[in-house]
């Protein structure tokens, strides 16, 4: 199934350092499937997309991101390689697709955009065919008419926009500093709540035997990034998700990259379905059913506390379901990371990470 990558930095980075040059870049992940268990769909060749924000505020350009996508396999698109060698940005979303819903078309390629907002998804919505009517009945016409493709992911984005609207925020007007991390996180959690409840209502047979939803969502307004690692199950792991922070993401020899850490800075933050480097110390595994927020180059982890939350950190989850969908990568043990903050009231029950503040 799909893979995605997020970069947020104090300074812009050449897209090639994320997309094409690393030996295990997200483009190479689309065909080099050594970490993939799903043999039904061994490659992510159903299109790709990259979205990024321009560096200088320009009224003529507006605040919307630039998005380039195509239905060709990412490894076989010369225009993408040329673009990556000549483009820099401090906030980048990239996605390679192995389709589960929706035909092969550019309208179904991630990331999706709405004014300044950009959204992508790794996973699947359980019972999507049966709950689609719930989406139609719930969301406002403006967001229903916004949908151009047929993926469950784009419908989830439309629902997210509707949640923002119903929280009293106009999704078309982020303002000069964006919406703020709290409102984006709240809208994301409401989106998950609706999908979870509708899937239950439309489930057939025993809920425990019904396929769970895998909801690794990512959204940004050009300032703040909110990402989830979530599954509607108490026993299964969600699709894999990792993050890395440091002072620089550097190429120390051709094709080989590592995260450099000096003075415990977080000038560079990467979030990825699959690590871009093979350095174990570079990456931290995001716990299942967690929302990750990147705000002012600070990473915040919040547990998603609902009926699928496991308060006891000693309980291990199975990875069978996510593995069968090709949505796991090797477990990266938690490492020391600076400036990762947990809100005081939500630390109880949080799976322990080896973090230093």
DSSP reduced 3-state for 130: helix
Closest residue by Cα to residue 5 from 113, 89, 91: 91
Q: For residue 244, list its beta bridge partners.
A: 270
How buried is 339 (Cβ within 10 angstroms: 0-12 exposed, 13-18 middle, 19+ buried)?
middle
What residues contact 74, with CB distance under 8 A and at least 6 apart? 26, 27, 30, 44, 45, 47, 48, 80, 96
How far apart CA 25 and CA 81 sit, in angstroms, is 12
The encoded tokens of residue 123 equal 């996973």
How far apart CA 235 and CA 157 sit, in angstroms, is 27
- The answer to whether residues 275 and 305 touch, using CB atoms and an 8 Å cutoff, is no
DSSP reduced 3-state for 84: helix
Helices (H), the chain: 16-19, 26-29, 78-86, 128-138, 141-144, 152-166, 181-201, 320-324
Chain centre to alpha carbon of residue 178: 19
Residue 254 C-beta-side C-alpha neighbours within 13 Å: 0
Of 2, 69, 109, 163, the active-site residue reads 2
Closest residue by Cα to residue 227 from 136, 128, 299: 299
What residues contact 197, with CB distance under 8 A and at least 6 apart? none
Specify whether 2 is catalytic.
yes
How far apart CA 76 and CA 6 sit, in angstroms, is 22
Closest residue by Cα to residue 332 from 354, 350, 310: 354
Q: What positions carry a catalytic annotation?
A: 2
């Amino acid at each position: 199934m799909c893979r995605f990558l997020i970069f947020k930095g104090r300074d812009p980075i050449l897209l090639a350092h994320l997309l094409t040059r690393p030996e295990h870049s997200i483009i190479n992940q689309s065909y080099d499937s050594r970490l993939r268990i799903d043999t039904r769909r061994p490659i992510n060749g159903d299109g790709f997309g990259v979205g990024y924000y321009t560096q200088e505020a320009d009224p003529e350009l507006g605040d919307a991101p630039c998005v380039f996508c195509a239905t060709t396999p990412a490894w076989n698109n010369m225009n993408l390689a040329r673009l990556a060698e000549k483009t820099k940005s401090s906030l980048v979303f990239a996605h390679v697709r192995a389709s589960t819903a929706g035909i092969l078309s550019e309208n179904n390629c991630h990331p999706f955009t709405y004014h300044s907002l950009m959204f992508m998804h790794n996973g699947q919505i359980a019972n999507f065919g049966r709950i689609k009517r719930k989406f139609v009945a719930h969301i406002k016409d403006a967001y229903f008419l916004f949908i151009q493709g047929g993926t469950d992911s784009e419908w989830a984005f439309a629902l997210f926009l509707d949640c923002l609207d119903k929280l009293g925020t106009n999704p078309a007007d982020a303002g000069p500093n964006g919406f703020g991390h709290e409102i984006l996180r709240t809208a994301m959690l409401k989106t998950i709540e609706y999908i979870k409840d509708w899937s239950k209502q439309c489930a057939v047979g025993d809920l425990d035997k019904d396929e769970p939803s895998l909801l690794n969502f990512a959204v940004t307004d050009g300032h703040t990034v909110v990402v989830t690692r979530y599954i509607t199950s108490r026993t299964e792991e969600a699709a894999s998700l990792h993050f890395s922070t440091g002072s620089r993401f550097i190429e120390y020899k051709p094709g080989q990259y590592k995260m450099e850490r000096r003075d415990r800075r977080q000038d560079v933050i990467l979030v990825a379905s699959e690590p871009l480097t093979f350095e174990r110390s570079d990456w931290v595994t995001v716990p299942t059913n967690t929302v990750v927020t990147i705000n002012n180059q600070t990473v915040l982890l919040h547990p998603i506390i609902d009926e699928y939350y496991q308060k006891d950190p000693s309980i291990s989850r199975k990875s069978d379901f996510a593995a069968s969908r090709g949505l796991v990568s090797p477990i990266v043990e938690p490492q020391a990371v600076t400036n990762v903050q947990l809100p005081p009231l939500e630390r109880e029950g949080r799976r322990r990470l080896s973090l230093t503040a």
